[in-house]
Amino acid sequence: MSEGVHGEIHVADPSICRVSEASKETAVESVSRSVGATGDTAAVEFTAPSSAAIDDADEVFHHEQKTIYRVTHSPAEEPRCACELIECHGCPVRHLEADCGAVVLSFVAADLASFRDIVVNLKSAFDGVSLRRLTQSEPDSATGSLVFVDRDELTARQREVLETAHEMGYFEHPREANATEVAAALDINRSTFTEHLSAAQSKLLDTILDV
C-alpha cells in the first residue's frame, strides 16, 4: 500500500463559494462537484427546498418540493473557492457538504507534507479553517513519524466539546447529530459550540501538521 493522507477540512467562511452562501439561508443537501474531461469547466450541484430563492444558479430538476441547482464556471487564473485551491495541488475533492454558511471538504493528498501545504494555503485564503479528520495510510516501509498531541493544549471546555461531538456522532458520515443538537447537549448555543470546536481543531491541526 502506498502512503497517502485522507483529510477532511471544515471552512467556516461563508464567502467560500455559492453553495456555502446558499446554505446560510436554507438547508442544502447532496452537494457534488465535477470537472469536465478537458478541465475547462467545473460544476457544483446541490439540492435545496424549491421555496428557497437561490440566485446565480441554474435550476436542473424539481421533485417533491425540492430543486436541484447547478453552478457552472470556467477556471480562473487564481482559485476562487476552496475546491479549486485544493485541486490546484492535484488533489480532487472527494466529498463536499455545506451547512449554515460553512463547508466540509474531503480529499486525499500524496503525503503529510502535501496535505500541510494545502492547509496552509487554505488558511491564508479563507477564515475559519480547521481539521475535522486526518487519516494516514500505512507506508510501504517500516519507517514513519509519530506525532504526540498534548491534550493540555486544549482547555477543559474544548475537550468536553470534542468528546461530546464525537460521542454523539457529529463527525460521522452521515452525521448522527448536527451542531444544534450537540450544542443543546452541552447546554450552550450553536455559535459558542462552533467557536469552541474550531479553536480545538485548529490547535490539533497546528500540532499534527507542525504549522
DSSP string for residues in 22-90: HHHHS--EEEEEEE-TTSS-EEEEEEEETTS---SSEEEEEETTEEEEEEEE---SS--SHHHHHHTTT
First to last CA, the chain: 27
Residue labelled with grid coordinates 483529510: 7
In this prediction, residue 45 carries a pLDDT of 87
Rounded distance between C-alpha atoms, residue 123 and residue 112, angstroms = 16
pLDDT digits (tens, 9 = 90+) for 3-30: 588 888 888 876 777 788 888 888 888 8
What amino acid is encoded at 14 in this protein?
P
For residues 36-55, give the mean pLDDT: 79
pLDDT digits (tens, 9 = 90+) for 154-187: 888 998 999 899 899 988 877 888 989 999 999 9
DSSP-derived pairing of the beta strands 93-99 and 58-63: unpaired
Evaluated on CA atoms 161, 167, 168, 171, the torsion sign reads positive
C-alpha cell at 101: 454558511
**Percent of the chain whose pLDDT exceeds 90:** 9
The answer on pLDDT for 188 being more than 90 is yes
Task: Yes or no: say if 119 and 163 are a contact pair by the CB < 8 Å rule.
Answer: no
Count the alpha carbons within 13 Å of 42 in the hemisphere toward its beta carbon.
Answer: 18
Rounded distance between C-alpha atoms, residue 63 and residue 106, angstroms = 28
The answer on pLDDT for 2 being more than 50 is no
Domains for the chain: give ranges and CATH numbers: 1-141 (no CATH), 149-211 (1.10.10)
pTM: 0.62
CB-count burial class (<10 Å; 0-12, 13-18, 19+) for 132: middle
pLDDT digits (tens, 9 = 90+) for 84-117: 888 888 888 888 888 888 888 899 898 888 888 8
